[in-house]
Structure 1
Amino acid sequence: MRVIIAGVGNVGYHLAKLLCEEGQDIVLIDKAAEKLKQAANQVDAGTIRGNSTSYSVLEEAGVSEADLLIAVTNSEDANIATAIIAKHLGAKRTVARISNTEFLYKKDKLNLKHLGIDDIISPESLAAREIKRLLKEVAITDSFEFQKGLLQLMGVNIDAKSPLKGKTMLDVAKLNPDQTFMTVAILRDNETIIPYGNTHFEENDHAYFIAQPEGVEKLLFLSGKKKEGVKSILILGGSRVGYHAARLLSARYNVKIIERDAQKCFELADQLPDAMVINGDGRNMELLEEENIQDIDAFIAVTGDSETNIITCLVAKKSGVKKTIAMVENMDYIHLSQSIGVDTMINKKLIAANFIFRHIRQGEIHSITSIHGVDAEILEFEVQEDSKITQHQLRNLQFPKSAIIGGVIRDGHGLTTPGDFRFQPKDRVVVLSKKECIKKVEDYFI
């Protein structure tokens, strides 16, 4: 697949690295020679110095043969123009990074596809949506719904008092005879484990499950967790992520947002009528105590400084906050989240990359997500008439060992998949796969 990336900033460079690992044919365009040089030293990609809105530059990049063009420069105008020009020059699909909220919230009325832009992304808006998803349940560290909850991905910490500690997958199967949930991954000491029969849970494991609606309560009970919702949220930082998160959350939750810049506070107050905006330094413990941090259900730190976000989340956790989320720039931090005491760390670049990867994957993919800190992806495929996965029972398919099928959605029902399960056309299949075998997994659904 030929992919052109215009803009080698944080998002563009990270995408290039991930696509290079996938073996894609990549061309990078940027005005800055130094950025291109640094990228070329790390990524197997062609580089072109120039303006991505230039006809000659796009022609040199082979835009007429491009399967995908991704415009992620620092200029919204340049990204929009690049995508439109590239589409008219023959690029099959185009994606533009934008920041203007009018484009985000009124894209259907604007009919951007008619102009030549197949999709738009805002890493900040995507991060806010990720935060909203993570706040659905306090006891669950990660949550993702397939087909409006017919199946649900759930992350649970295995602590010293957890009834699951020491039990194998076979033991858990006996406790769950109806198979209403299935373990799909275990994160242990930064290593991702795909579990099988004799795999057992250990203290401090971070376990991930795919559950039917009736299996959610049973899983929480068996893992020793209580179902708790979120009512009050404190957001630290009036950044774009903070704004988008408050906009999404304030209609449902009691939201406070703390921002140091007084002028920005006035702007946020005008834009967020349903949220309380507080001018102050969120690192100040006295301020947090004044805002009754001990009574807050969720604390979200999204300032521009990763260390500030982590430290304030730790302070919040110590103060009794049930759920903490920190935004970090350094992706190495993500694996440390549970071990240092922050419930979840998010990274805009990773979230944006996952969104764009929908255009890279083969097969009929309806959703794709990653689990924070886990070296794997969750994908939802639709089975086709002649898909390889329909040829045998699951146990006889020789499905890759570095992947696991978590469940199927069929005729409006979520189903687990025992060994004798046979897949049918139109089934929606939820798969967790390590990155090294995703192409093998895709072959089963093409």
Structure 2
Amino acid sequence: MKVIIAGAGDVGFHLAKLLANEEHDITLIDVDESRLNYANSHLDVAITKGESTSFKVLDQAGVHKCDMLIAVTTDEANNILTATIGKRLGAKKTIARIRNSEFLQKRDILDLRKMGVDELISPQLLATKEIKRLLKEAAITDTFEFERGLLSLIGITIDEEDPLHNRTLNETSVLNPDLNFLTVAILRDNKTIIPRGSTRFKMKDHVYYIAKPEGVDRVLKLTGKKQRKKIRRIMILGGSQVGYYAARSLSYKYNITLIEKDKDRCFELADKLQNTLVINGDGRDVELLEQEGIEEMDAFIAVTGDSETNIITSLVAKTHGVQKTIALVENMDYIHLSQNIGVDTLINKKLIAANFIFRYIRKGQVLSLTSIHGVDAEVLEFVVHENSRITEGKLKELDFPKTAIIGGVIRGNQSHIPLGDFEFRPYDRVVVLGRPGCIPKIEAFFN
């Protein structure tokens, strides 16, 4: 597939990196020569210097024969115009990154498809959706549901007191007699492990499971997190776009307190947010946080424009007994730090946007695609067809990639955790976790 990416910033670079693992024909366009040179020296991509709204530049990049044109510069007007021009010049599909949510809210009225923009991506709104997803369970560091919860991906941190600590998967198999969950990945010291029977759990491991509904409770019990306290009170630090969108979408279900240091922005937020207590103050002031009841909060979300402030205040929240902390960071390299510094989850809106766009590139019958923060792997859901290679024998006979693991299968209204003797049938929905390099091999089993 030929893909042109306009914008070699964080979103464009990460997206190109994901695509480069699968040998797509990628061209990066940017006006910044240093960015292009960096990408060219680190990735197998072609580069074109210039404005992506230029007919000459797009033609030089080969837009007339490209399968997808993705405009992810920091200028939303430039992105929309790039997609529009690119479509007229022959791009089969176009995606534009935006900041103004009105484009999404009024997409039916605007009908940007007629202008040549097939899809709009808002990193701020995607980050908000990610925050909502992460808040579903206080004891779980990450969660993602398949088919309305018939299977769930959940993440748990191993503590020294956990029954799993210092035991291998084989040794703990007796704790899962009903086979209602499967360990699919471990994040340890910033390294991703696809576990096998001899893999041993260690303290501070971030362990990820695919679980049936009853398996979620079983995992929490086994890891010493029996109390599934519901999140009710949330403190949001920062009235940025992400902070505003988060408060607006969460205030109907949770009690929200939002702290913003800019007084004018506070008045603006107070007018827009009907069910949110807006406080004017500096969230770095621990005394202020205490006065506003941080010790009574179930979750703390830090989304100011300063990554260090977000991390530090989240750690302060942890020391005050807050169960769930989420911090927004601008530097993608920080994502891997969460398991070591004590913040439950670090998120990066650019990384989320790049991963979201990536699902449009996928081959095969991919129903859904998610990524785990800090984990060098993807979680995909496929549908099995009559002639899919995966139906040709039992799982243990299929030579499935060793750097991937099939975590669960949804068949009708039932979910299953497959072992070696499991046989796949047409219309099964299969959840797979795999390292980026082996994704094409996985897809070959479902095409």
Is the 8 Å Cα contact of residues 239 and 258 (structure 2) preserved in structure 1? Answer: yes
Range 134-143 or range 38-47, more displaced: 38-47
1:248 and 2:249 aligned: yes
Residue 411 of structure 1 is matched in structure 2 by 412
Residue 83 of structure 1 is matched in structure 2 by 83
Residue 160 of structure 1 is matched in structure 2 by 160
> Separation in 2 of the partners of 1:412 and 1:109?
38
SS in 1 for 2:155: strand
Tell me which amino acid in the other structure corresponds to 1:384. H
What is the correspondence of 1:12-23 to structure 2 with a 5 Å cutoff?
A: 12-23=12-23
Range 318-327 or range 259-268, more displaced: 259-268
> Separation in 2 of the partners of 1:153 and 1:124?
23
What is the correspondence of 1:30-429 to structure 2 with a 5 Å cutoff?
A: 30-108=30-108, 110-225=110-225, 226-429=227-430
Range 295-304 or range 100-109, more displaced: 100-109
Is the 8 Å Cα contact of residues 15 and 355 (structure 2) preserved in structure 1? Answer: no
The number of equivalent residue pairs is: 446
> Separation in 2 of the partners of 1:327 and 1:67?
33
> Separation in 2 of the partners of 1:372 and 1:38?
24
Per-residue deviation, 1:109: 5.0
Is the 8 Å Cα contact of residues 233 and 299 (structure 2) preserved in structure 1? Answer: yes
> Separation in 1 of the partners of 2:445 and 2:113?
31
1:10-68 per-residue CA deviation (whole Å, 9 max, x = no partner) reads 22222223323332211122233443344333333222233322323222211121111
Range 172-181 or range 201-210, more displaced: 172-181
1:139-192 per-residue CA deviation (whole Å, 9 max, x = no partner) reads 111100111111100111111111122333233332222211111111122221
Distance verdict in 2 for CA 1:40–1:196, change over 3 Å:
closer
Tell me which amino acid in the other structure corresponds to 2:344. D
Distance verdict in 2 for CA 1:424–1:113, change over 3 Å:
farther
Per-residue deviation, 1:341: 0.9
1:329-359 per-residue CA deviation (whole Å, 9 max, x = no partner) reads 2222222212211111111222111101111
SS in 2 for 1:77: helix
* Structure 1 residue ranges, 4+ long, deviating more than 4 angstroms after superposition: none
1:82-103 per-residue CA deviation (whole Å, 9 max, x = no partner) reads 2122223221221110111112
> Separation in 2 of the partners of 1:111 and 1:151?
36
> Separation in 2 of the partners of 1:129 and 1:290?
29
Residue 442 of structure 1 is matched in structure 2 by 443
> Separation in 2 of the partners of 1:383 and 1:111?
34
Structure 1 residues without counterparts, runs of 5 or longer: none
> Separation in 2 of the partners of 1:114 and 1:176?
54
Distance verdict in 2 for CA 1:122–1:160, change over 3 Å:
same
1:177-216 per-residue CA deviation (whole Å, 9 max, x = no partner) reads 2211111111122221111222232222111101111211
Distance verdict in 2 for CA 1:271–1:370, change over 3 Å:
same
> Separation in 2 of the partners of 1:433 and 1:38?
28
Tell me which amino acid in the other structure corresponds to 1:268. L
Per-residue deviation, 1:303: 1.1
Is the 8 Å Cα contact of residues 27 and 47 (structure 2) preserved in structure 1? Answer: yes
> Separation in 1 of the partners of 2:88 and 2:409?
39
Per-residue deviation, 1:71: 0.6
Range 160-169 or range 275-284, more displaced: 160-169
Residue 433 of structure 2 is matched in structure 1 by 432
> Separation in 1 of the partners of 2:38 and 2:394?
49
1:224-271 per-residue CA deviation (whole Å, 9 max, x = no partner) reads 102111101111111111112112211111111111111111222222
Per-residue deviation, 1:123: 1.0
Query: TM-score, length-normalised on structure 1?
Result: 0.96
SS in 1 for 2:359: helix
Residue 11 of structure 2 is matched in structure 1 by 11
Structure 2 residues without counterparts, runs of 5 or longer: none
Range 395-404 or range 60-69, more displaced: 60-69
SS in 2 for 1:27: strand
Per-residue deviation, 1:110: 4.1
Is the 8 Å Cα contact of residues 94 and 116 (structure 2) preserved in structure 1? Answer: yes
* Percent identical: 61
1:309-337 per-residue CA deviation (whole Å, 9 max, x = no partner) reads 11111111001111111111222222221
Tell me which amino acid in the other structure corresponds to 1:212. K
Residue 26 of structure 2 is matched in structure 1 by 26
Range 262-271 or range 16-25, more displaced: 16-25
SS in 2 for 1:425: coil
Range 192-201 or range 346-355, more displaced: 192-201
RMSD: 1.6
Range 145-154 or range 100-109, more displaced: 100-109
Per-residue deviation, 1:9: 2.5
Residue 2 of structure 1 is matched in structure 2 by 2
> Separation in 2 of the partners of 1:44 and 1:181?
39
Tell me which amino acid in the other structure corresponds to 2:66. A
Range 18-27 or range 88-97, more displaced: 18-27
Distance verdict in 2 for CA 1:186–1:37, change over 3 Å:
closer
Distance verdict in 2 for CA 1:427–1:111, change over 3 Å:
farther
Tell me which amino acid in the other structure corresponds to 2:169. M
> Separation in 2 of the partners of 1:201 and 1:392?
32
> Separation in 1 of the partners of 2:366 and 2:109?
26
